[in-house]
Amino acid sequence: MSAFAVAAFHDRTLPAGAGRFAVVVWIRATGLGDAGADVALELWTPAGAAVTALREVAPAASDRLAARVRIDDRTLRIDAGRWQDGVHEFGLELVLAPRDPGDELLAARIGVLAGHDLVAEAVVAVSFADVPAGALPAGADAEPPTSAVAPADLPTGASPEPRHRASAPGAPPPCAGCGEPAEEGDRYCEACGLELAAG
């Protein structure tokens, strides 16, 4: 039986006003058999954000952003080729809209599709601190670099920054950032990505 796991490693705290942001994405595939599987990545970003680079760095190096297809205003689908079992590593770069200190943002959602089925997903959530750019050391709040972790240690569980909160009674208030209505149980606004107030 085939299985996929995806994990995103990144700085969780950014200086307020930070723009460019880097993420290391690991995806492990198992049980694909000799035939393998056609894999694609689906990248969602909030309004005001943009994907500026997606490079596969292992097991082979290639620029994957050239294969992007825009699904809607905030979603890209990217052909990742035919995969066998193993770990694939990607470098993802985003540009984010400036945010205020204390804001928490869903900066990206990374989906893995095998055929047409969503088989794994991770989210990238960050918070913004009231410090000048450069005051937070690069990687200080990130997971260990990829060279320090064996592929067998790739996490298989859900992201530590879940998309949904526990449902609260009553309709949630609209997003304070953009005014869009929120779905009950959503932690982040599906339009601008800001963390929603608890219902």
Give the pTM. Answer: 0.69
**Residues 71-112: tens digit of each pLDDT:** 888 899 999 999 999 999 999 999 988 888 888 888 899 999
Can you give the residue ranges of every domain in the chain? Answer: 3-131, 162-199
* Band (115; pLDDT cuts 50, 70, 90): confident
pLDDT score, position 88:
92
Residue 165 has pLDDT above 60, yes or no: no
**Is residue 65 over pLDDT 70?**
yes
Most confident of 113-117, 130-134, 181-185: 113-117
Residue-level pLDDT at 16: 79
Lowest-pLDDT range of 104-113, 134-143, 180-189: 134-143
Candidate CATH numbers 2.40.37.10, 2.60.40.790, 3.50.30.60, 2.60.40.3670; the one for domain 3-131: 2.60.40.3670
**Long-range contacts made by residues 97-101, C-beta under 8 angstroms, separation at least 24?**
97/46, 97/47, 97/48, 97/49, 98/16, 98/17, 98/18, 98/19, 99/16, 99/17, 99/128, 99/194, 100/16, 100/128, 101/16, 101/128, 101/129, 101/130
For the cut 90, the answer to whether the pLDDT of residue 134 exceeds it is no
163 pLDDT tier (thresholds 50, 70, 90): very low
Average pLDDT, the chain: 76
Confidence of residue 13 (pLDDT cuts 50, 70, 90): confident
Residue 161 scores a pLDDT above 90: no
| 191 band by pLDDT with thresholds 50, 70 and 90 | low
Q: Which of 9-13, 17-21, 99-103 has the lowest mean pLDDT?
A: 17-21
* Residue 186, both tokens: 């959503």
Regarding predicted confidence, which is higher, 146 or 46? 46
Strand order in the sheet with 3-9: 3-9, 20-30, 86-95, 50-58, 62-63
Give me the residue label for tokens 């670099």. 145
Task: Find out whether 44 and 109 touch, Cβ atoms under 8 Å.
Answer: yes
Q: Residue 127 — pLDDT band, cuts 50, 70, 90?
A: confident
Q: Which residues, in sequence order, are bridge partners of residue 54? A: 92
**What's the burial of 74, exposed, middle or buried (CB within 10 Å: 0-12/13-18/19+)?**
buried
Instruction: Give the whole-angstrom CA distance, residue 148 versus residue 15.
Output: 26
Chain CA centroid to CA 27, Å: 12
Instruction: Give the number of other CB atoms < 10 A from CB of residue 118.
Output: 11
pLDDT of residue 43: 94
